[in-house]
């Protein structure tokens, strides 16, 4: 119950107090929005497994290509994001064409095989997933 003021009237919120509460709520909501947005945009990645294009297969760009499974986590809250199969020229798989997928199970999915062909590459994972990526998606540094 509200304590009465010096004149015996019940105390009420002052306009100044309401402004303070509203300002606090706005700052709190803005801070939460910034953390949520930043956590969704910034990411931490780890290459789980990788495979290299065999010498017997050549593509028009003349590059050697790599494919791998990348584990992705959000940077601030370390939330699990969908895994990615990344195919490109960078052996570290920091850039290239990526395909996201969800995988369930105790351990992260690993590449169990790959079929590199002139028209693209088919990646098989030990989780049972299979992904075909057309060559035009990863040629030329994309």
- Does 71 lie in the same domain as 122? yes
For residues 62-99, one letter each, b for 16 or more C-beta atoms within 10 angstroms of the residue's C-beta and e for the rest, the string is ebebbbbbbbbebeeeeeebebbbbbbbeeebeebbbb
In the chain, pLDDT over 90 holds for what percent of residues? 53
- Does 99 lie in the same domain as 51? yes
Q: What is the pLDDT of residue 68?
A: 96
Q: Tell me the C-alpha distance between 63 and 55, whole Å.
A: 11
Q: Tell me the C-alpha distance between 2 and 7, whole Å.
A: 14
> pLDDT by residue (tens digit) across 48-97?
999 999 999 999 999 999 999 999 988 777 778 889 999 999 999 999 99
The candidate with the shortest Cα–Cα distance to 65, out of 40, 88, 83, 85, is 88
Tell me if 47 sits within 8 A of 91, measured CB to CB.
no
In the chain, pLDDT over 70 holds for what percent of residues? 92
- Does 101 lie in the same domain as 55? yes
- Does 97 lie in the same domain as 130? yes
Q: Tell me the C-alpha distance between 85 and 51, whole Å.
A: 11
Q: Please state the length of the chain.
A: 142
How many domains are contained in the chain? 2
- Does 121 lie in the same domain as 81? yes
Average pLDDT on 32-54 reads 84
Host domain of residue 35: 1-41
């Amino acid at each position: 119950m509200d304590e009465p003021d010096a004149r015996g009237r019940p105390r009420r919120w002052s306009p100044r107090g309401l402004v303070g509460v509203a300002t606090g709520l706005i700052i709190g909501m803005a801070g939460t929005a910034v953390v949520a947005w930043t956590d969704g945009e910034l990411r931490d990645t780890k290459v789980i497994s990788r495979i290299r294009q065999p010498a017997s297969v050549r593509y028009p760009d003349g590059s050697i290509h790599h494919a791998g499974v990348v584990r992705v986590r959000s940077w601030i809250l370390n939330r699990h994001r969908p895994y990615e199969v990344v195919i490109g020229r960078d052996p570290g798989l920091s850039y290239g064409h990526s395909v996201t997928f969800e995988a369930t199970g105790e351990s992260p999915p690993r590449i169990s095989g790959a079929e590199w062909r002139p028209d693209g590459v088919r990646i098989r994972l030990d989780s049972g997933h299979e992904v075909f990526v057309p060559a035009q998606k990863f040629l030329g540094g994309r």
